[in-house]
Amino acid sequence: MVEQIRINNDGKSKPILSYTLDIPNICSLSGLICTVLAIYYIILGNYPAAMIGMIWAVSFDWADGLIARRMKGRTGDDRVFGGQLDLLIDIVSYGVTPAILLLSYGNFNPVYLPGAFLMLAASAVRLSYFSTFGLAGGSKYTGLALDNNNIVLVFIFMFEGLISNGIFSVTLYVVGLGLAALNVSQIKTPKLSGNPINVLLLAAYTLGITAIYGWKLL
């Protein structure tokens, strides 16, 4: 396989790590840090801390796009690299993390493996479709955008202590499969992250979620 190499205006390929100095990419990688922390706390069974990491991952994801659209002087290579980095981080944040969450809450019982696979597979298919065809009509997603997975799950988990673990694990299973189905459906959903007002609403939601789960940690 011949690997295509993009070059800058000087005819030389830029060093790989130079792209990490791009502000939107720094924001994307900050979201990845939140995701790694979320996975770490999920495995430990510290779900309140994990929920904080999951929602902050979404906030950084939305912020990087907003910053990228307002920045001047970014090259075509910068935009392509940033888009690819964003997609790869999305599969970890919104595919791998929810799948691990389902497995962990189910005490890694094999019965949860099919659900975890379907959630992760739907995420991979969803991102592959988007990277191929982009926005429908230039303004809407086909299928539920993956960032909604985390937004919904951190909300659902606020009710975790109100019902038994067994019932909640089944609820989590059903919600996870429902989100996976919506991710690969033909429904058209608006690009919420493209609107500054929605970004502010997410910021308020993130702070609220952080306060609620932070209180639980205390």
CATH code, domain carrying 65: 1.20.120.1760
Give the number of C-alpha atoms closer than 13 A to the C-alpha of residue 207, restricted to the C-beta side: 5
Residue 132 lies in a domain: yes
H or E segment to which residue 80 belongs: helix 76-91
The values of phi and psi at residue 141, to 5°, are -80, 150
Residue 5 lies in a domain: no
Residue 36 lies in a domain: yes
Give the number of C-alpha atoms closer than 13 A to the C-alpha of residue 9, restricted to the C-beta side: 4
- Sequence-distant (6+) residues with CB within 8 A of 76 are none
Strand partners, 112: none
Does pLDDT of 10 surpass 60?
Answer: no
Does pLDDT of 114 surpass 90?
Answer: yes
Most confident of 45-49, 77-81, 134-138, 190-194: 45-49
Does pLDDT of 12 surpass 80?
Answer: no
Does pLDDT of 142 surpass 60?
Answer: yes
Q: Nearest to residue 50, comparing CAs of 139, 135, 134, 150? A: 150
Domain that holds residue 193: 19-217
Q: Which long-range contacts (CB under 8 A, 24 or more apart) does 112-118 make?
A: 112/169, 112/173, 115/173, 115/176, 115/177, 118/177, 118/180
Residue 6 lies in a domain: no
**Count of domains forming the chain:** 1
Does pLDDT of 131 surpass 60?
Answer: yes
Q: How far apart are CA 154 and CA 148, in angstroms?
A: 10
Residue 13 lies in a domain: no
Q: How far apart are CA 73 and CA 6, in angstroms?
A: 18
Mean pLDDT of 121-149: 92
Mean pLDDT of 70-85: 81
Does pLDDT of 94 surpass 60?
Answer: yes
SS3 141: strand
Mean pLDDT of 178-184: 98
Mean pLDDT of 43-55: 97
Residue 7 lies in a domain: no
Neighbours of 212 (CB within 10 A): 16
Query: What pLDDT does 120 receive?
Result: 97
Residue 165 lies in a domain: yes
Does pLDDT of 4 surpass 60?
Answer: no
Does pLDDT of 186 surpass 50?
Answer: yes
Residue 105 lies in a domain: yes
